[in-house]
Structure 1
Amino acid sequence: MKNYHDVEEFDLLAKVYLIETEFGGRQGAVHDGYRGQFFWHINDVNCSDWDASYIFESGQVNPGEESNCKVVLSENVKKYSKGVFPTERQFGIREGSKIIAVGVILESNVQNA
């Protein structure tokens, strides 16, 4: 797996914060290649989960920490969003029904899909 600085093809650059365990977050760290669900509101669909993978600047993020990350989105989320991922827009990262991280988009490389 490539590290953060080697990954050139990605859809979003974001800053994410892993929710602390005592506030309902996960117990362990997430690492490069993590495939949590990208929780996002699209048009008329209220907050849907979409497949994505994450590459973290720090290589891993522990609960209570934040890191920049590069997000590679599934083709479905790009299609249904029509390629619109505004900067400064927030999103969640979920494991099942549990939100384990929150993020904000810093940059989007998604073209109109």
Structure 2
Amino acid sequence: MNSINRHILTEPQLEAEIYYLTEQEGGRKTAVSSGYRGQFYYNGKNWDAPQQFIDKEICNPGEKVKVYLQTLSTDFHVGHFFIGQDFEIKEGARTVAKGKITSIIRTDFNYWDGSTFLKSIDKNIKPYSDINDLLGFRIDFEHWLTETGLIKNVEFDMTGNPECMMLVKCKLIDKNLQPREVACRIIECWKTESATSNHLYKVEMNTQSSSKTNQLQVEKFVLTFATWHSIFLTGQIIVRQ
């Protein structure tokens, strides 16, 4: 078997070019090989994302390498990437490489926000404005959020802004729930219960360490969404302790 094909990712999502810093630049002393799993750092957070080298098997400090990346927590990366986006590869607190996204293979990883969404949809698709339709969405949101067993005190704010029409604000019943569990259950409920046939979403989560247990807790979790067919709805689900 060709050695360059030894570390094949099951689902490459991004393509990038990475420069590995020399020791003098603060990088590694030794080379890295295809399959390397340094921390993938962008937007202020570290993530797991194994690398499959495209054009070589070994990359020495001071060299560049073309790679495929596969994130291991997919839902947290949907909607966040654009061509030319910078990132770093870290080992602990130390930056060992700097990279740039050159291609987005997984299409739902493409960056979006309220402004880009409005520019992308057909101009004949108008925002939900019928009070009964919006009431139906509010009832649905409150029902499935409550049904997760995680959420209480669901409140709604209709903003009048087509880029973010509805704010769904709620609190956790148990602030000691694992952040990953909270995120995954709300994302899954959004995708299976409230999204229409066409939808976009992206998530952001801030955590804090409990002073009592020293475990991570959800400080704020936000799921930004857009859903549409002949009319559209945009908004955010905001979860706090």
Offset, 1:85: 1.1
Number of the residue aligned with 1:29: 31
The one-letter code of the counterpart of 2:104 is S
The one-letter code of the counterpart of 1:65 is E
The separation in 2 between residues aligned to 1:59 and 1:110, in whole angstroms, is 24
Number of the residue aligned with 1:55: 52
Paired residue secondary structure (1:67)? strand
The separation in 2 between residues aligned to 1:9 and 1:89, in whole angstroms, is 20
The one-letter code of the counterpart of 1:50 is W
* Structure with more strand by fraction: 1
Number of the residue aligned with 2:215: none
- When residues 38 and 7 of structure 1 are mapped into structure 2, their CA distance, relative to the original with a 3 A threshold, is closer
The separation in 1 between residues aligned to 2:29 and 2:63, in whole angstroms, is 12
Paired residue secondary structure (1:23)? coil
Q: TM-score, normalised by structure 2?
A: 0.40
* Structure with more helix by fraction: 2
Q: Pick from 84, 88, 91: which aligns with 1:92?
A: 88
The answer to whether the aligner puts 1:64 opposite 2:62 as a matched pair is yes
Number of the residue aligned with 2:20: 18
Deviations 1:21-69 (A, max 9, x none): 111101000101101000010xxxxx10000100112111100000111
The separation in 1 between residues aligned to 2:88 and 2:80, in whole angstroms, is 16
The separation in 1 between residues aligned to 2:105 and 2:80, in whole angstroms, is 10
The higher relative CO (CA closer than 8 Å, separation ≥ 6) is in 1
The separation in 2 between residues aligned to 1:82 and 1:73, in whole angstroms, is 10
**Stretches of structure 2 lacking an aligned partner (at least 5 in a row):** 109-200, 202-241
The separation in 1 between residues aligned to 2:90 and 2:35, in whole angstroms, is 15
Q: CA RMSD in A?
A: 2.1
Contact 2:4 2:57 in 1 (8 A): no
Contact 2:9 2:70 in 1 (8 A): no
**Stretches of structure 1 lacking an aligned partner (at least 5 in a row):** 42-46
Contact 2:83 2:104 in 1 (8 A): yes
Contact 1:85 1:110 in 2 (8 A): no
Q: How many residues align structurally? A: 105
Offset, 1:84: 2.5
Q: TM-score, normalised by structure 1?
A: 0.83
Query: How many percent identity over aligned positions?
Result: 31
Query: Deviation above 3 Å: which 4+ runs of structure 1?
Result: 6-9
Give the number of the structure whose alpha-carbon radius of gyration is greater.
2
Paired residue secondary structure (2:29)? coil
